A and B are shown apart, each in its own frame.
Chain A
Amino acid sequence: MSRLVLDEVSRTFPGVRGGPPTRALEPTSLAVADNDFICLLGPSGCGKSTLLRIVAGLDRPTTGRVTLDGAPVTAPGADRGMVFQSYTLFPWLTVEQNIRFGLREQGLSTAEQTRIAAHYIARVGLEGFERHYPKMLSGGMQQRTALARALANDPKILLLDEPFGALDNQTRSLMQELLLGIWESDRKTVLFVTHDIDEAIFMANRVAVMTARPGRIKRELVIDLPQRASSRAHGPRQRTGPASGARRSGPPNGTSARPRSSTAGAPAAGAAVEAEVAGPSSNS
């Protein structure tokens, strides 16, 4: 069953001061199934963010349409959680209050908000930082909070726009594993944007490779890494207790048994994606 369907979605931005209009996205179609982890992979400026923003309802397509569970997407909503590349925590709210933001919008009782927030604070390993303001947090911790904030709403699909792009390598690896762990244990559907080939192969079960501007999806590749199987084996352990499992396996201690290096384990998949990215964009 496809949850999210993009049907010939394109976006053209009007020209600036009489200049020619910018074609950011060629008509693009994509279907995201339940529990998919799809990476949109492409060079900078190829329209990845544009595509994700259209799915989030923050931008409208020039042509085509987006449906989620059959209902057309026309505006942003809590059923599509988003994590941005830039740090978008509300600076006047503490970590805990940030995570409660969406729950409060839903009109949940304070007790319920507290319970859910505590669960996700534990899930992303931020115990002890509940009362910290975003300014006091490192980039990785801010993105953990942003992830928890999006997850707390229990969205149908999680949209991530290069969420770890600004983090150092070590933190990025920890965050990647954290997200994979959550995806596996909570059975989430994820649309993940990145320009990093390694990250795409490591994270996704399907990679949609986009061409340079104006972007379109050139090829979709199914990734079946050996370590994915090994990581699946961790799934049940993490699923046993959503909070406790994450606390032990997740960062900041970060002692997961998953291999870090992504392409090393699967040279074939890596080479295939690399060929697609490097190849001339005219050849489709």
Chain B
Amino acid sequence: MRPLVPVSTATKVLLGVGFFVVFFAAWTAATLGGYVNRTFLADPLTMAVAGWRLLSVHGFARDIGVTIWRVFGGFALAAIVGVPLGIAMGAWKPIEAFFEPFISFARYLPASGFIPLLILWAGIGEAEKLLLIFIGSFFQLVLMVAVTVGSTRRDLVEAAYTLGARASGIVGRVLLPSSAPTIAETLRLVLGWAWTYVIVAELIGASSGIGHMITDSQALLDTGQIIFGIVVIGVIGLVSDYLFKTLNQRLFPWSLA
């Protein structure tokens, strides 16, 4: 195997699916083979049955819908404010000098630590969940976008100037298009974080959502349901990530090798 040599699409899919099979087989062997106590880890069959029960009897689909809505709501909020601010910071250094120190400080504030405060301020409704996701992703997003825009190739900016571009046009005609693929990739990454924060938000003080179902199942010691909930999150994450990636490739064909 030589480094950096790409593999064919077929091999890639085969290998990717292969690990899922290995993982599933190991899990099945550990649980059905009796190596692990059922109280701690449900076997795949129990999980599937629990999942079916959740969906058909307990209306779990609605919980999934609520969670997805929260993720995308909080994510959209962070993106709508964060991307323009990040672009402005990357492009104009005084704006960066103004915001950067505070945002660098704020991004180290643990988002989950805000939950008690957020509940105090916004109650245990939707606003609290969205705000938590916002706090968890906004500051990181702003900084990453600012770095991306700020590291635009200087020679491209200079080339644009020698072609008659004015300072006002540089942002729209050079900084934005050259940063767009990386910003889109950053958003994809941040969407992944939003999924982590939504479950944290739902574990405390929620009456619906996947996270809420998981806390409920904990009280019942139903590891089958817990694992089903986790798997559902993983599957939705995988699908949204794939869609995002495909969209990025469609939008920015020039950035591909």
Which A residues are closer than 8 A to B by beta carbons? 56-58, 75-78, 80-82, 84, 86, 88, 90-93, 101-102, 105-106, 133-135, 149-150, 153, 159
CB distance from A7 to the nearest CB of B (A): 22
The 8 closest A-B pairs by CB, nearest first: A78-B164, A102-B163, A76-B161, A88-B159, A82-B162, A105-B164, A133-B254, A92-B177
Interface SS majority for chain A? loop
Which of B153, B162, B165, B256 meets A56, CB within 8 Å? B162
Smallest distance from the beta carbon of A18 to chain B beta carbons, Å?
Answer: 23
- If A92-B180, A105-B163 touch, whether A76 touches B158 (CB-CB below 8 Å) is yes
Residues of B with C-beta under 8 A to A58: 158, 161-162
* A106 B164 Cβ-Cβ under 8 A: yes
A78 CA to B165 CA, complexed, in Å: 8
What would 11 A/B residue contacts be, using CB atoms closer than 8 Å?
Answer: A56-B162, A57-B161, A75-B161, A81-B162, A86-B155, A90-B156, A92-B255, A101-B160, A102-B165, A133-B253, A135-B256
Interface residues of B in 150-207 (CB under 8 A from A): 153, 155-156, 158-166, 169, 173-174, 177-178, 180
Known: A93-B177, A153-B164. 9 other contacts (CB 8 A): A76-B161, A76-B162, A81-B163, A88-B156, A90-B159, A92-B255, A93-B254, A101-B173, A133-B253
Residue with the highest number of chain A CB atoms closer than 10 Å, among B155, B174, B180, B257: B155
- Report B243-257 CB contacts with A as 1/0, cut-off 8 Å: 000000000111111
Q: Which residues of A contact B160 (CB under 8 A)?
A: 90, 101
Q: Are A135 and B162 in contact (CB under 8 A)?
A: no
Residues of B within 8 A of A86 (CB): 155
Q: Contacts A58-B158, A86-B155 hold; do A92 and B254 have CB atoms under 8 A apart?
A: yes
Q: Among B161, B166, B255, point to the contact of A91 (Cβ < 8 A).
A: B255
Chain A contacts for B156, CB-based, 8 A: 88, 90
A56 to B252, alpha carbons, bound, how many Å?
A: 31
| Measured CA separation A58–B162 after assembly (Å) | 8
A15 and B159 CA atoms in complex are apart in Å by 26
Of A77, A88, A149, A150, which is in contact with the most chain B CB atoms at under 10 Å from its CB? A88
Are B163 and A149 in contact, with the CB atoms below 8 A? yes
A258 to chain B, nearest CB (A): 29
Given A105-B169, A133-B254, A135-B257, verify A90-B162 contact (CB < 8 Å).
no
B-chain residues with CB within 8 Å of residue A77 when the two chains form the complex: 162, 164
- C-alpha gap A75/B170 in the complex (Å): 15
A90 & B178 in contact (Cβ 8 Å cutoff): yes
Residues of A within 8 A of B158 (CB): 56, 58, 76, 82, 84, 88
Q: Are the CB atoms of A90 and B257 closer together than 8 Å?
A: no
Q: Across the two chains, which residue of chain A brings its CB closest to B161?
A: A76
Interface residues of B in 203-257 (CB under 8 A from A): 252-257
Residues of chain B within 8 A of A78, CB atoms compared: 162-164
